[in-house]
Structure 1
């Protein structure tokens, strides 16, 4: 099995649209939640979201979209994109720059791209409405590729001339973690030398608000109280969107290019709950098995883990399920307990974006030498007592990090990253 390294990242997130800003937000525990203007209506119980700043993508006409001046996107490319396609494109440019990759490096048979998104309910709804109202032949020719769940990989693979493995992943909030895990396999097994992993979501009314019907969203009106994983008073997650791109490369490519390295991806694991279509197993059994599988893959033991980036979304059931899984793995009050936090207290929950975004956060934490705290906890849930849930950032460089993700249907993914 070949070694696999993270050599580049790109961020468009609620806590920053570049590596430097994201790093500072993680260190300083600066959140991206706001009273979201489209939610400020009497018939909408949810008031808070974590939107992307400096982008305006609320029009159904892509030519009206506004994005930072440093990015240039051709009109013909925009016509086939969803809002999160724009975020992904910008994050991809950042990742290429961060990894110092040229077109000759990535446009070849040895480089692939795996992506995850839920598509764009915003655009899909609009195009279906036009079809019914005006007829089939009045539909936007690129409406399908702009709105369905493969839109990110369709656009990025074609625009960046990716010639290796490419596909999209759909396991809800575990999607981009699955993408990263299978991308790891492509390189470790010698099938590819480089992989781009992309997670992206619109993060607008249509992609967030339907979760209110599940009673999954926080109804807090204070942005600083709405997302508080592991807190006894948590009442749901805060929705967000954006994009993250992670560059994986083989050891051979790292040495050939003299590339800088964030960390090693040491292994991963997955498992299913076999329990419920929408709710995690109350004892966290699937996540526990996924973590055990990841540890076997990475050839590590629980006492070697320094930091856990928890999936914890701030829902009453989900956080408790994960806490029980972590206790089963690490024990309670052990002297070797890892530090645990959920960065969703800062970013909100990015749905299929979450796994890639949080793995990239972990890579940054390893390279920069800190462990981000779990913000907004006033009263720790008694069920979490015994876990080392840190409430402020620690100035310690983790050597081994575990990043968890869970999705609908009881899909669970655990990723292990190592300091180099």
Structure 2
């Protein structure tokens, strides 16, 4: 079966909008949190967001949006985008440049695109309200494709003339990890030679605030205290948006083009909790099963994993559940990999999280470091027994696992290997 490699990355995130900035902030443990102006009201219990800098997408009219001048996007493309679509378009342009792809590499039957987002609640609300108030014929003809789940793949496949496999994934916070896993399958089964994998979210009021109703967002007003995965004092996650794109290619394409990959994608696994619509299984059984499946598929022993980029969002139940799963999969002292959650720096990107954090792993493998778990002062007692560094480790991990989990108990684990 063809081997699969990561050959390009693109970022629009709360900790940077290019690989160099993201890598530096990961290494230096610099977060991207700010007091979010729309949340500074007495009746809103959350205050902090992982904000996207250099982009302004508050208006319902894309022509009012602002973004870095280096991106040239035609007006007719912007008209059918949500904010997450703009972020994704820019991240995809970055990834194409990073992977050194030409037009013929992008638009051909052997190149596909998988994407994940929760759609745009912001634009869904706007267009529905307009329909009710002004009538159906006063609605934008592009309102549906700009707002519903699938808006990313609709827009990107059309804009970049993708001819291969395309699909949108919707498994909540496991979505873009699922997209990566199934893109791996497309390549390893010989159906495609190259896949773009995209995760993106709006990261605005409509995308984030509903989670306050679930009591899952941190109420902290201090950005340095708001996201504390595995910490005994954690009190919820911080929302964020943005986009990340990974380019996956077969070994044959890597050799043909003469490019140096970030990492090899060895395999993946998935499993379900079968427990609760919104809460992780208290023993982490589904997460442990996904990790075990991933190790088996990748043909890697638990003791070979050097680093696990945890899903840990900084919620009371979820972090403990994942810690129990990690203890079950890595029970021996000699098997304990470093574990950290980079959500302490970025916040939780929802559907974006799996892709964004997998790309962080690729950067860490190439550049030789393991990001520490920021803002951790006192380890949650029920998370004892996992190896959580509070400072960055300046050692290149060889084998890395990325965990993701979503509503309904959907769990995904991905395994990567350093190249060289």
SS of the residue corresponding to residue 51 of structure 2 reads coil
Measure, in 2, the Cα distance between the counterparts of 1:271 and 1:214: 24
The residue that corresponds to 2:278 in the other structure is 278
> Structure 1 segments of 4 or more deviating over 6 A?
none
The Cα of 1:260 is off from its aligned counterpart by 1.3
CA deviation after TM superposition for structure 1 residue 337, in Å:
1.2
Whole-angstrom CA distance in 2 between matches of 1:81 and 1:386: 45
Shift of 1:384: 1.5
Matched, 1:378 2:377: yes
Alignment of 1:149-188 (within 5 A): 149-188=149-188
The separation in 1 between residues aligned to 2:162 and 2:328, in whole angstroms, is 42
Counterpart-to-counterpart distance in 1, 2:301 and 2:284: 19
CA displacement 1:334-357 (0-9 Å, x = unmatched): 033100000000000000000000
Aligned to 1:216: 216
Q: SS in structure 1 opposite 2:209?
A: helix
Residues 307, 399 of structure 2: 8 Å contact kept:
yes
Q: Which residue of 2 aligns with 1:404?
A: 403
Any residues of structure 2 matched to 1:158-307 within 5 Å, and which?
158-307=158-307
Q: C-alpha distance in 2, partners of 1:308/1:123?
A: 36
Give the corresponding residue for 1:313: 313
Q: How many residues align?
A: 419
Aligned to 2:247, the other structure's residue is in SS state strand
Give the root-mean-square deviation of aligned CA atoms. Answer: 0.6
In 1: Cα distance, 2:306 partner to 2:28 partner:
20
Match of 2:394 in 1: 395
Q: What residue number does 1:58 align with?
A: 58
Gaps of 5+ in 2: none
The superposition leaves residues 44-69 of structure 1 with CA deviations (integer Å, 9 ceiling, x where unpaired) of 01011111001000001110000011
Aligned to 1:72: 72
2:130 corresponds to: 130
State the SS of the aligned residue for 1:46. coil
Q: Distance in 1 between matches of 2:335 and 2:185?
A: 30
> Distance between the aligned counterparts of 1:154 and 1:75, measured in 2?
16
TM-fit CA distance, 1:106: 1.5
Alignment of 1:120 onto 2:120? yes
Classify the secondary structure of the residue corresponding to 1:226: coil
Task: Give SS of 2:141's match.
Answer: coil
1-structure distance, mates of 2:352, 2:335: 31
Contact 2:303 2:334 (C-alpha < 8 Å) held by counterparts: no
TM-aligned CA deviation for residue 73 of structure 1: 1.1
Deviations 1:55-107 (A, max 9, x none): 00000111000001111111111000000100000000000000000010120
Query: What CA distance in whole angstroms lies between the structure 2 residues aligned with 1:206 and 1:70?
Result: 28
Task: Determine helix, strand or coil for the equivalent of 1:271.
Answer: strand
Measure the CA separation in 2 of the matches of 1:157 and 1:25.
31
Listed one character per residue, the Cα deviations across residues 342-379 of structure 1 (whole Å, up to 9, x for unaligned) are 00000000000000000000011000000000000111
Give the distance between the partners of 2:346 and 2:44, measured in 1 at CA: 22
Q: 1:19 and 1:247 mapped to 2: Cα distance?
A: 14
Tell me the distance in 1 between the aligned counterparts of 2:8 and 2:32. Answer: 23
**How far, CA to CA, are the matches of 1:382 and 1:279 in structure 2?**
20
Partner SS, residue 335 of structure 2: coil
SS of residue paired to 1:364:
helix
- Structure 1 gaps of 5+ residues are none
Report the TM-score, using the length of structure 1 for normalisation: 0.99
